[in-house]
Amino acid sequence: MSLKTYFGHERARTWFADVAQRAASHPAVAGGSVRFFVIPTYLQIPAALDAFGGTPVLVGAQDVSEFAPGAYTGEVTADELAEVGVQVAEIGHAERRRLFDETDTVTAAKAAAALAHGITPVLCIGEAVRLGAPAAALANVEQLATNLDGVPVGPVIVAYEPVWAIGAAEPAPDDHIATVTRALRAAVDADPARAGSVVIYGGSAGPGLLARLGDSVDGLFLGRFAHDPDALVAVWDEASVLASSRILHTVKPQPAGETPGEPHGLVPPLSSHAKTVEVDA
């Protein structure tokens, strides 16, 4: 969940403490089968890092400078974010593109800066106007390629967020989401430079959606629904069921001579076909 600027500092600290306690006691999150990250404001990052220390929860930034350290007043560099412990960075959100005129070229430069410093980009893409599912899939695959042009090797978290669904009463239709996310997954799977990438959905995402989407996505990018920690835990529970299902489907028959009980055939944890499921806040 990107907190955007909804929370003031004290409310954010209270939310961090509550969610950190729940994350530490949730078997799937604590055990790593459900991966979770939270993206607060820049000023809230140190408090988030303190609250989630000792848990598997990752802390991210809502943006990152495309520039190296230097005379760039007001920018926050990937160097500094990595130094304090930020592990993911939201890049190319529709609001940044619309309100601050960020182009695909700028987005690619920010993704490059993040990866160069070991920060995984949460690359937000999505069609601005509602299209049919096949047309939307084509448009998003093309946008993904443009936003990764010249970006160094490394995994990304592709966040499909159709602009018309952001802040809406309901998410995009399930079959629409599935068509686009499967096309995006095929695109990243076909690119050796993006090994370990995942595809998630955002845009009025909330409880119940992940269970309906099943294997067509690797997780959700939550927004306002996760302001309520109870709703967030409900999504973790759904993700736990999906992760358990993926484990069952990715374990191959045990060859003769192997040690009993060892898992076989599990792809790496960051793969789009992994046993882990993302629930991103």
- Residues taking part in catalysis: 93, 161
Q: Which tokens belong to 128?
A: 């601005």
Residue 242 to residue 224: CA distance in whole angstroms: 23
Rounded (10°) CA dihedral 105, 69, 65, 157: 90
Residue 2 near residue 93, CB atoms below 8 Å:
yes
- DSSP class per residue in 234-262: HHHHHHHHHHHHHHHHHPPPPPTTSPTT-
Q: Which tokens belong to 224?
A: 């306002």
Residue 270 to residue 4: CA distance in whole angstroms: 25
> What letter does residue 164 receive in the DSSP assignment?
G
Could you tell me which residues come within 8 angstroms of residue 63 by beta carbon, excluding any fewer than 6 positions away? 76, 89, 90, 91, 96, 110
Residue 150 to residue 167: CA distance in whole angstroms: 32
Burial class, 133, CB count within 10 angstroms (exposed 0-12 / middle 13-18 / buried 19+): middle
